[in-house]
């Protein structure tokens, strides 16, 4: 027979169902408070140990930072040529006795690079008490006239206004306008790059080389003209094939050099020919 007595929810349970439920209730284990307490204590101990380790590390770092063991007493500098060691030290603003950990190396490098002679500066720590500064200076290749006289470096960058103590022993570049270079920087880089390539080519030649040139002028059409050191003779190179034209001039330059005072210009723009113009006063005397 079935027990038809309703439960509190309005449903009916059989006797067998109630027996099973009673067995399940009897099988539930009581809470193990000791085990829970043990686990809680373990977590607390691990957490506290971690906090103590972190605190200890922070304390050790603070003691090291404050220690005299890491106070700067030597600054080494490499790569300086135009700038003196004292000037670079002043730019770096590194003081003896300062903690090496207090130095912002990137900021120090940027301070040094503010000087126009410095192309790049690298600053590094050498533990425990030394700093090394490596500078790469710009190398002037020519002087460019942009209203004021500036140095032009090997990468074609205008980088410094000439001062009273700066050397003038460089070819002068003319025909460029400062406002135009600023307004059209990409075109300006290409034009100055052409001048740099010409100077580098001249520096490698034997007879007609850089020592024979006093000025490099850019014409309005973009062509280049040289002026000789001796006699100020105009050498018309024009546009394109400049190495080829210089090679052609070198073949006869030894014969032309003693007569430069008589010449007005040398034109290299005609293929396979060199046209020489004689000054009027010499031409009139010859006639």
Q: Is the pLDDT of residue 18 over 80?
A: no
Residues 174, 124 share a domain? no
Residues 268, 168 share a domain? yes
Query: Quick one: tokens of 129?
Result: 């008490």
Query: Quick one: tokens of 189?
Result: 């880089």
**Final residue in a domain of this structure, among 81, 112, 137:** 137
Which pLDDT value is given to residue 28?
56
Residues 272, 242 share a domain? yes
Pairing of strands 224-228, 234-238: antiparallel
User: For 255-274, what is the mean pLDDT?
Assistant: 92
Residues 196, 119 share a domain? no
Residues 214, 104 share a domain? no
**Final residue in a domain of this structure, among 110, 137, 164:** 137
Domain that holds residue 219: 140-286
- 18 falls within a domain: no
* CB atoms inside a 10 Å sphere around CB 139: 13
Residues 186, 272 share a domain? yes
Report how far residue 104's alpha carbon sits from residue 84's, in angstroms, rounded to the nearest whole number: 22
Q: Is the pLDDT of residue 12 over 70?
A: no
| Mean pLDDT of all residues belonging to the chain | 86
Which pLDDT value is given to residue 62?
64
DSSP category for residue 231: T
The SS3 assignment for 224 reads: strand
Q: Is the pLDDT of residue 119 over 90?
A: yes
Which pLDDT value is given to residue 236?
97
* Number of domains within the chain: 2
Query: Quick one: tokens of 29?
Result: 């284990």
Q: Is the pLDDT of residue 287 over 60?
A: no
DSSP category for residue 44: H
Contact status, residue 213 vs residue 266, Cβ threshold 8 Å = no
Please state the pTM of the whole predicted model.
0.73
Q: Is the pLDDT of residue 93 over 70?
A: yes
Residues 258, 149 share a domain? yes
Residues 81, 93 share a domain? yes
Which pLDDT value is given to residue 29?
59
Which pLDDT value is given to residue 190?
95
Q: How confident is the model at residue 113 (pLDDT cuts 50, 70, 90)?
A: very high
Which pLDDT value is given to residue 2?
46
- 54 falls within a domain: no
Sheet with 74-78, edge to edge strand ranges: 74-78, 130-137, 118-126
**Final residue in a domain of this structure, among 137, 167, 188:** 137
- 24 falls within a domain: no
Give tens-digit pLDDT for 43-90. 777 777 777 788 777 766 666 666 678 899 999 999 999 999 999 999
Written as one string, the DSSP assignment of 177-201 is -HHHHHHSHHHHHHHHHHHHHHHHH
């Amino acid at each position: 027979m079935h027990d038809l007595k309703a439960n509190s929810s309005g449903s009916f349970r059989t006797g067998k169902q109630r027996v099973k439920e009673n067995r399940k209730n009897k099988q539930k284990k009581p809470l193990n408070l000791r085990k829970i307490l043990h686990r809680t204590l373990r977590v607390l101990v691990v957490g506290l140990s971690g906090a103590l380790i972190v605190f200890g590390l922070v304390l050790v770092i603070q003691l090291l930072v404050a220690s005299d063991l890491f106070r700067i007493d030597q600054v080494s500098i490499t790569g300086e040529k135009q700038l003196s060691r004292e000037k670079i030290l002043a730019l770096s603003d590194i003081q003896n006795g300062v903690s090496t950990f207090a130095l912002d190396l990137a900021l120090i490098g940027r301070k040094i690079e503010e000087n126009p002679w410095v192309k790049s500066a690298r600053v590094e720590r050498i533990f425990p008490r030394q700093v090394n500064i490596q500078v790469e200076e710009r190398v002037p290749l020519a002087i460019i006239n942009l209203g004021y006289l500036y140095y032009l470096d090997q990468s074609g960058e205008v980088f410094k206004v000439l001062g009273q103590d700066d050397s003038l022993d460089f070819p002068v570049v003319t025909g460029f306008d400062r406002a135009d270079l600023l307004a059209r920087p990409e075109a300006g880089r290409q034009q100055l790059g052409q001048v740099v390539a010409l100077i580098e080519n001249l520096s490698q030649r034997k007879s007609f080389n850089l020592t024979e040139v006093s000025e490099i002028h850019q014409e309005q059409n973009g062509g280049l003209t040289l002026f000789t050191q001796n006699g100020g003779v105009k050498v018309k190179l024009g546009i394109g094939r400049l190495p080829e034209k210089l090679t052609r001039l070198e073949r006869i330059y030894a014969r032309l050099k003693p007569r430069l005072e008589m010449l007005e210009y040398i034109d290299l723009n005609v293929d396979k020919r060199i046209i020489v113009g004689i000054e009027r006063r010499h031409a009139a005397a010859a006639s």
